[in-house]
Amino acid sequence: MPQPSAKERFIALLRQSVEQGTLVKMTLGKYQGAEPELKNVFVRPVELKAGPHLSFVFRYATRDITKNHSRAEGLNLLERLIGTDFLDAHLFTPAQTAQLAGHADGTARLHLKTASAAPMPPPNSHDRARAYLIPADAPWLNALGITNEKGVPREGMAPKFRQINRFVELISHLSDEAQLPADRPFEVADMGCGKGYLTFGTAAFFGPRANVTGVEARAELVELCNRVATEQKFQNLHFAAGHIDDTPLAPPDVLIALHACDTATDDALAKGVSANAALIVVSPCCQKELRPQLTPPPVLAEALKHGIFQERQAEFVTDSLRAQLLEWAGYRTKVFEFISTEHTAKNVMIAAVRERARGDAVLESRIRDFARFYGIRRHQLASHLGFEF
């Protein structure tokens, strides 16, 4: 009797995860179909009033389309898409990660990896209380002082708990879009990681798929985080004392820098670009470099005599210029609010996914026009990238 093919084994695992309620999420990539702008499909289980469904997000170049299907309809659709329109498929359950790596000649291989020991949540729901990717009873949350012994956020720490989960949710989606290595653990560097809350969350989410390094200048925090990582048996997590520009690291596939002050954000972005990182995620802070350079256009001069508007203009110009320079360097960028402003006023996040070679001449001209309009003569990231105004 012939052995089942790699695709048949993958579909069997998929059906089993849906029927047993263990499916966390699924992603489809390497699109080969007829729609030129379709990039990926993301699938997750949801509970609707009509019962269990599979929610599909079709990711296009400029828009997303969400469709909900019953389990039977969703499984039939996935069977048609996997190995035909999409050559690559990833299946995530609490027990393991399965990847079907297909090729244009019709061959495929199935790769299985045991998942992290960190617990994973039940399916998300539109109609029920939200399930977190990092559950409150994760022991490392208690070790870092976020939750108590009963797995309940301590007084004043509930926003931090939600922030950790919001960040992990974002990293989950962004990593699906990035071309991360599938044949080895990918390298994640969290620059200026502080007490490591989000670093631990990242390591817990990725598990053995990634080697995560947190870099922090304060030696006492590095010592604390390494001790907790060892006690909690995080084999994929390490912390190092140093700064963005002087800490020796393996070339990162994913670079994270949250609330790096002023031009430290530019240093982190440049480190990611120079390493050809597949994914860069930063949350800028204290955008001071450009403010003395900004020359308000005459039509804006009266409005910008107020200091608060000058500050907000400096933030807008600095971060929009960063996004444009990343696009010139070959990345597709997104700029969005990370968390609610009730937690922090510095809530803008820039995410960049590598897509192509650098050097778009049209974009280069637009960036120069933008800089000229605001009187910008020098910018730290531009200098790092060798871009001349």
Do 232 and 195 share a structural domain? yes
d(CA 355, CA 349): 19
pLDDT of residue 126: 45
Do 146 and 101 share a structural domain? no
Please check whether residue 310 is in contact with residue 304, taking contact to mean a CB–CB distance below 8 angstroms.
Answer: yes
pTM over 0.85: no
d(CA 327, CA 103): 29
Flag whether 234 is in a domain.
Answer: yes
% of the chain at pLDDT higher than 70:
93
**Mean pLDDT across 201-230:** 95
Closest to 243 measured CA to CA, from 266, 264, 273, 223? 264
Query: In the listed set 97, 114, 131, which residue is the last one of a domain according to the structure?
Result: 114
Flag whether 288 is in a domain.
Answer: yes
Mean pLDDT of the chain, nearest integer: 88
Rounded to 10 degrees, the C-alpha dihedral 134/140/142/143 comes to: -160
- 37 is in which domain, residue-wise? 6-114
Do 151 and 98 share a structural domain? no
**Mean pLDDT across 109-113:** 89
Flag whether 361 is in a domain.
Answer: yes
pLDDT band per the 50, 70, 90 thresholds, residue 1: low
Do 245 and 104 share a structural domain? no
Residue 228, amino acid? V
Q: Looking at the 3D structure of the chain, how many domains does it have? A: 2
Do 237 and 196 share a structural domain? yes
pLDDT of residue 343: 44
Question: For tokens 């960040």, what's the residue?
Answer: 167
Flag whether 232 is in a domain.
Answer: yes
Question: Does residue 278 register a pLDDT over 50?
Answer: yes
Here the CATH number for the domain that contains residue 362 is: 3.40.50.150
335 phi/psi in degrees, rounded to 5:
-125, 125
Q: How does pLDDT run across 113-131, given as a tens digit for each residue? A: 875 444 444 444 444 445 6
Query: In the listed set 98, 114, 130, which residue is the last one of a domain according to the structure?
Result: 114
**Mean pLDDT across 247-254:** 92
pLDDT band per the 50, 70, 90 thresholds, residue 346: low
Do 281 and 144 share a structural domain? yes
Do 329 and 260 share a structural domain? yes
Query: In the listed set 99, 114, 129, which residue is the last one of a domain according to the structure?
Result: 114
Do 37 and 90 share a structural domain? yes
Please check whether residue 64 is in contact with residue 80, taking contact to mean a CB–CB distance below 8 angstroms.
Answer: no
Residue 27, amino acid? T
pLDDT band per the 50, 70, 90 thresholds, residue 298: confident
pLDDT of residue 255: 97
Q: Distance of alpha carbon 332 from its chain centroid, rounded? A: 13
pLDDT of residue 269: 96
pLDDT band per the 50, 70, 90 thresholds, residue 179: confident
- Looking from the CA of 25 toward its CB, the CA atoms found within 13 Å total 17
Do 338 and 246 share a structural domain? yes
Do 91 and 147 share a structural domain? no
Q: Which residues contact 217 (CB under 8 A, 6 or more apart)?
A: 192, 241, 242, 243
**Mean pLDDT across 337-359:** 73
For residue 351, what are the CA distances in angstroms to 34, 74, 265, 332?
Answer: 28, 30, 12, 8
pLDDT of residue 69: 94
pLDDT of residue 3: 78
Flag whether 18 is in a domain.
Answer: yes
Do 338 and 206 share a structural domain? yes
Do 336 and 208 share a structural domain? yes
Length of the chain: 389
pLDDT band per the 50, 70, 90 thresholds, residue 339: low
Flag whether 129 is in a domain.
Answer: no
Q: Distance of alpha carbon 92 from its chain centroid, rounded? A: 16
Rounded to 10 degrees, the C-alpha dihedral 191/197/198/201 comes to: 130
**Mean pLDDT across 348-356:** 92
pLDDT band per the 50, 70, 90 thresholds, residue 265: very high
Flag whether 125 is in a domain.
Answer: no
pLDDT band per the 50, 70, 90 thresholds, residue 313: confident
More confident residue, 219 or 288: 219
